[in-house]
Amino acid sequence: MVLNKLSLRDKGTFDKYLKLTSHGLSVYSFADIYIWNKLFDISWAVIRKSLCVFFQDNIGAFLYLAPLAKSNDPKAISSVFEILERLNKNPEFARIDNVEEKDLAFYQSLGLECSLQSRDYICSRRDLEGLKGNKFKSKRASYNYFTRNFEHLYQGLSLNDRKECLGLYSLWVKQRRSRDPCSIYQGMLEDSRVALKEALENYSELGFKGSLVRINRKVKAFTFGYELNKETFCILYEITDLTVKGLAQFIFSRFARELKDYKYINIMDDSGLDNLKRVKLSYHPSSLMPAYTVRRKRG
């Protein structure tokens, strides 16, 4: 089986396969796959009419998301694991990540081991836009504090803003590091920087939409994401100067107001971090969408 190295030219092929069935997890987007190409060797192949996306680094190889097809094919899954076990010195690394709950019964029927990997946080767009009611009282107060105390310019994000956005990201990382010295978290921040550079470099080609806030002509916040499906928009990044009170609440709510064509906003998972989990739960998501990891049983 020959694996194709991922390139931007593959977007049309991926989009065709991604649209074969409905998906709710944030990873089911070409944009979310492509931005990791500087951290992983990403390749793909169509196996028995199923598009399969392989990620590999110096630790091992895995399937980033479930094979994309009109219907699940047991023989395609068998072929995937054969390839993964060839690519991995340790067969324990052979796995399929980000399997959606709707497909769980299929994988279990094949005798595969399925375990919870993470959960995406799905919010009502109207909730985020309005910040109404007692449950959003503190968010609304922060939003109002910002609008009363800071002269600002809210505008769309474009490729021309790339350098300033990366500069703000560096400031944000410095602020985050002072609050959380965990080495694992520090590593995640650097990986996220690499992905951000790739996203901004290919902002238009990957179909991103975003906005930013300037204070005294300087970029102090930016956010952007992509359409996941006709009902859902996914927020990929939201970065702010943490010293500006209420700015995070302002740009989040203000951007949600622009996304009127969508019913839901997917704010992705919490990466297993308690602080990120608390922040995402504070926006009172309407649902949590689980993702599962699938492996062959051993022993």
Half-sphere exposure of 187 (CA within 13 A, CB side): 5
Degrees to nearest 5, angle at CA 46 with 41 and 52:
50
Question: What pLDDT shows up at residue 298?
Answer: 81
pLDDT value at position 180? 74
Helices (H), the chain: 11-18, 30-34, 74-87, 104-109, 125-130, 137-149, 162-179, 183-201, 247-258, 274-281
**What's residue 228's pLDDT?**
97
CB 4 within 8 A of CB 83: no
> pLDDT tens per residue, the chain (299 residues)?
789 999 999 999 999 999 999 999 999 999 999 999 999 999 999 999 999 999 999 999 999 999 999 999 999 999 999 999 999 999 889 999 999 999 999 999 999 999 999 999 999 999 999 999 999 999 999 999 999 999 999 999 999 999 999 999 999 999 988 777 777 788 899 999 999 999 999 999 999 999 999 999 999 999 999 999 999 999 999 999 999 999 999 999 999 999 999 999 999 999 988 889 999 999 999 999 999 999 999 86
78-91 CB burial, b ≥16 within 10 A, e <16: ebbbebbeebbeee
**Spatial contact of 277 and 270, defined as CB atoms under 8 Å apart:** yes
> Taking Cα atoms as reference points, which of 164, 174, 146 lies closest to residue 247?
146
SS3 82: helix
Distance CA 264, CA 128 (A): 10
Q: Please state the pTM of the whole predicted model.
A: 0.95
3-class secondary structure, 6? coil
3: which DSSP letter?
P
Which helix (H) or strand (E) segment holds residue 209: the answer is strand 209-215
Rounded CA-CA distance 225/207 in Å is: 9
pLDDT at 158: 94
